[in-house]
Structure formats: structure tokens, C-alpha cells
Amino acid sequence: MIEIRFHGRGGQGAVTASRLIAEAVAKEGKYAQAIPMYGTERRGAPVTAYVRIDDRPVRRRDLVHEPDIVIVIDPILSKKPSVAAGIKSGGLLLLNYPKPPEEVEIGGDFMVSTVDATTIALETLGRPITNTAVLGAFSRVTGIAKLESLEEAILKRFPGEIGKRNVEALRRAYEEVHPPKPAKGPLRPGEEEPPHVTGYGVLKSVADWRVFRPVVDLEKCVSCRLCWIYCPETAISLVDEKPVIDYDKCKGCGICVHECPVKAIEFVREAV
């Protein structure tokens, strides 16, 4: 049995990716189980999904705690050592990360492979929905699901133009993925639980929810207070009538960027 754990953020399609793998390997005559870790996931919040693949029906109903493969479809989460928690000796960590495996900071008794799925997604889909791109890398690196089976599963789920563009993302990642190298980075998973946000309440920081960050040009700002009043998370406070952004509270929704009447707030892709 092969066990896979996905990490992503609500809206990037981690749950869909787990389903697509299950559907693809089922076409190849295998048995599979795709499990979304259910809570009350929100767009932008870290989420988890699991896949089990076997030659016989999968019966166990517990969650995956010692995965053979961990796939992280979000570049910010790809920097968190805790995503590698529990990974089996000799296992694989596949990251959406814009740098080669040698530059990954996470290390341990497993292999690491990277693909810049966000760039691929932005160029093919126009949106940072990275799941299908990461699947192309997964197919190439593991050989567990054939590219054709994944294409078929994608086109069935997303008919028409959207499906075609997702297949393009899949194929590009298949070509561009960096092959696995031993994970030599200095950071170890430690005791921390893998990232997962569910339920209701107040969070410490939502900095890792962002793909883009709003940056204020104080020169252009006319102190109209609109960005301040429209921020759902009170991430913007006024200091001398000028907006100051608390990046632990900013989810990167972009409302302030969109509403600024003088275009004084720019949306900048988060550095990885």
C-alpha cells in the first residue's frame, strides 16, 4: 500500500488533487481511497487530504500518519518543516517550490523533489490554483499514476477550456519538475503537527494564507480611509491618517488593493 498526504490551502484544490489521483489509478486497475480531512475548511486556510493506493481494496479508515509521499501544493507551506512530519524512511517529499531540491531547507531520511507549480498555474490558468500542475510532477517523479490517466481524470472533471488548460499545467510540470534528491536541509519536522486550520475562532497569524501581499505607497496615499474600513480582518490601522498593514492579520484577499481610489496599494507576489 502507498500512502500519500497532501497539504494545501483552501481553494488550491488539494482535495480535488487527492480525488484525481484516486480516479487515475483506478483507471489503471488499482484500488484507492481519497480522504479529505473534514472540518470546516475555508478559502485560504491550510487544509489536508490523504490518498491510499493498493492492489486490493483499501479497508482501513484511519488517517494517514506515516505517509510514503507528502505532496505540498502551496509554496509558503512548502517552507514549513512540519509538512514532513511522519514521512517514512526513504519516502518522498514533493514540494511546490521555485528552487531546486538542493536549496530546500527541510531535511531528513527521505528524498525531496520540487516544481514551481505556482508560476506554471499563473501562466496556464491565470490563477494560483496549483493542484493539477503538482500532479504532473507527481506522475513523473513517482510513476504511480500515468500522465494519460491523470489527463483523462482531469478532462472528465473539468470539461472544456478549463480542462485543457489544466492538462497544459499538468504536462508542463511533468517536464519541469526537479528529480528527487536526498533531503539534506537543516530543518527537521520536530514535534509540531502538520499545518491544518479548521473550525471557528481566532488565529495567531494568517501570514501563510497569502499568495500576494498588499504594499502601500505612502506617497500616493490620500488618507481616504477606504482600505481601512473595508478590511474584514482589521489588518489595516491608521497611523497619522496613513494605512499600516499588520501582515499577521492580512489574508491577502486584495480588497484594499482593489478599492484604493488612487492605486496606492500594490499586490506583490510573496517571496518564497
Contacting residues toward other proteins, per CB under 8 A = 10-11, 40, 42-45, 197, 199-203, 205-206, 209, 224-226, 229-235, 238, 248-255, 257-259, 267
Sheet of 92-96: strand order equals: 31-36, 46-54, 2-9, 69-72, 92-96, 107-115, 178-184
Please report how close the Cβ of residue 257 comes to other proteins at its closest, in angstroms. 6
**CA 71, 75, 80 angle in degrees (round to 5)?**
75
Q: Which is nearer to other proteins, 225 or 263 (CB)?
A: 225
Residues 166, 153: Cα–Cα separation, whole Å: 11
> Least separation, in Å, of the C-beta of 229 and other proteins?
5
| Closest CB to other proteins among residues 202, 271 | 202
> Which of 133/255 has CB closer to other proteins?
255
Q: How far is the CB of 270 from other proteins (least distance, A)?
A: 13
Angle at Cα 58 formed by Cα 177 and Cα 158, nearest 5°?
50
Q: Under a CB-based contact definition with an 8 Å cutoff, are residues 177 and 47 in contact?
A: no
For residues 5 and 195, the answer to whether their CB atoms sit within 8 Å is no
Query: Whole-number minimum distance, CB 255 to other proteins, in Å?
Result: 6
CA–CA separation, 250 and 212 (whole Å): 10
Cβ closer to other proteins: 39 or 185? 39
